[in-house]
Amino acid sequence: MVAGFGVELENVWVQFDSFVAVRNANVRIEPGEFFSFLGPSGCGKTTILRTISGFLEPSRGVVRIGGRDMAGIGPNRRPTALIFQNLALFPLMRVWENIAFALEVRGAGVAERRRRAEQLLELIALPGQGDKLVHELSGGQKQRVAIARALCAEPQVLLLDEPLSALDLKLRQHMRTELRAIQRQVGLTFVYITHDQGEALAMSDHVAVMREGVIEQIADGRTLYDDPATTFVASFVGENNAFPGRVTAEADGMAVIETAVGHLRARIATAARGQLAPGDRAMVFVRPEALAVAGPGVLPGEGRIAGRVTAEEFDGPSYHLFLEGPGGTPIKTSLVNHGIGRSSSIGATLTLAFDPMKAVALPAGELAQEE
């Protein structure tokens, strides 16, 4: 197994007339890494992918693949292969012919093309399926064939533009596991575009979170989730309760924020160390799963929030309670289903407790909008 090429973006801007699609992107993707660009629709992530592939030239900056400047090198001459969202399989070709199409273009004979197609069918766990037509495959099988066809071109970097978005939830979850397994087996560099946080966190070595053409943070999934660098990242990656307010105290990496639901104590995010002082506007973020129902008689305090339950949802593994705090502040907590029936809490006033080390304080900023 040989690791694919690394990819570098140095001060890359992509501009269309007066519209800036990508602003000063600096990214280093290591050889053999699974790297994702994550963000809402229109944030510039697909523009970056097309710039790496050569379908777009940067307005400013440098794209390097394998240490080589790609300026003036078209997509057909780059060591990349691109899997489109619609997969673009040829409906009148057999599966094996689809997979080996790149070899046919190069003039390889039928026997060589068939042999390579069968090897790749083994790799994607579809042995013996080569003579089927595309319409005879399931959605997940088509996805795997598209991957095999891209691998047949022997790229050093595989670019994937939201390839799982058309699949249903269960198949999407299954395919992201398979996709990661294939990437580890072949050892190529994968650059993946998605707006689905679950996909990015589950598959990637590192993720770049984007907003309006700007990269907000690059980190591994655990860091993005537990130690976000900005309020946008905190509110976009996973679910979060956001409590705006002002700092009343700061010491030893912790801050106390006066909010509508009371004074809340939280760990200052790594990226915000030295940026919060008494009087500053700030936000406290507490994940729903970090909130637990406190015992009876426990009063609100720096690690507790009170609210009235307005709704609840049950999704199997969890109960989700939605509360209204002081000033109409929305609050959500997620409680593990232990297999014991529980009566409805709607209308009840509850106090929720959290560990201040599991809450994050950041300077006030823009939150992600629901798509």
The pLDDT value given to residue 178: 83
Percent pLDDT > 70 in the chain is 96
The model's confidence at residue 289, banded by pLDDT at 50, 70 and 90, is very high
The pLDDT value given to residue 345: 79
The H-or-E segment that residue 201 falls in is helix 197-203
The pLDDT value given to residue 234: 97
Q: Above 60 in pLDDT, residue 1?
A: no
The pLDDT value given to residue 88: 80
The model's confidence at residue 212, banded by pLDDT at 50, 70 and 90, is very high
What's the CA gap between 167 and 157, in Å, rounded? 24
Exposure of 334 in the CB half-sphere (CA atoms within 13 A): 13
Q: What DSSP character marks residue 49? A: H
The pLDDT value given to residue 298: 62
Site of tokens 């201040």: 356
Phi and psi at residue 342, to the nearest 5°: -130, 145
Q: Which domains does the chain have, with CATH numbers?
A: 7-226 (3.40.50.300), 239-363 (2.40.50.140)
User: Which of 99, 193, 218 has the alpha carbon at shortest distance from 151?
Assistant: 99
Rounded average pLDDT over 297-311: 82
**CB contact at 8 A, 287 and 241:** yes
Instruction: Find how far residue 45's CA is from the centre of its chain.
Output: 11
For 243, residues 6+ apart whose C-beta sits below 8 A from its C-beta are 257, 259, 260, 261, 264, 283, 284, 285, 286, 329
The H-or-E segment that residue 193 falls in is strand 189-194
**CB contact at 8 A, 333 and 240:** no
The pLDDT value given to residue 285: 98
Rounded average pLDDT over 170-184: 84
Q: Above 90 in pLDDT, residue 235?
A: yes
What value does the mean pLDDT of the chain take? 91
Q: Above 80 in pLDDT, residue 313?
A: yes
